[in-house]
Structure 1
């Protein structure tokens, strides 16, 4: 399952987020979205978890939770297509 994580602190690193998500199960990939011009985080990321049950549990537990001083938005990512 592809998970959207928004409202992240600009100081959060991809490795930090990967570690947090691993507490809920297997993480296939973590991608923090970076602005091309400023090279700074845009404050959101996508995480792929192959086990849907683990992913749904992570969404339930982390949506609205505070991380690095901000309340995260965690939900299933919607495909652009």
Structure 2
């Protein structure tokens, strides 16, 4: 199982619409739209779980393509740039 990060998503996308897009490349196990803890609003990115063999093709074919009016970022979840927390001084 491979976890995929998808960023720069339109705020109106649904789990079903994302699943439909990725299902063209193989079986999607799950889609998790990430929401803000305080407001409950969608934050514009999600994580998808797919079989390893299909995830590589989905990443290759969908990264930097247009979906729901935006150019999306698609990459293995462990490759996502991590924000550094600012230390309190």
TM-score, normalised by the number of residues in structure 1: 0.90
Q: Distance in 2 between matches of 1:18 and 1:36?
A: 23
* Structure 1 stretches lacking a partner, 5+ long: none
- Equivalent position of 1:57 in the other structure: 57
- Equivalent position of 1:4 in the other structure: 5
Q: Distance in 1 between matches of 2:16 and 2:37?
A: 19
Q: Deviations over 1:42-65 (max 9, x none)?
A: 000000002x12100000000000
- Equivalent position of 1:78 in the other structure: 78
* Structure 2 stretches lacking a partner, 5+ long: 83-89
> SS at the partner of 2:78?
coil
Aligned residues: 79
Q: Distance in 2 between matches of 1:40 and 1:17?
A: 17
Q: Deviations over 1:9-29 (max 9, x none)?
A: 011111110111111101111
Structure possessing the higher radius of gyration over alpha carbons: 2
Q: Distance in 2 between matches of 1:48 and 1:42?
A: 19
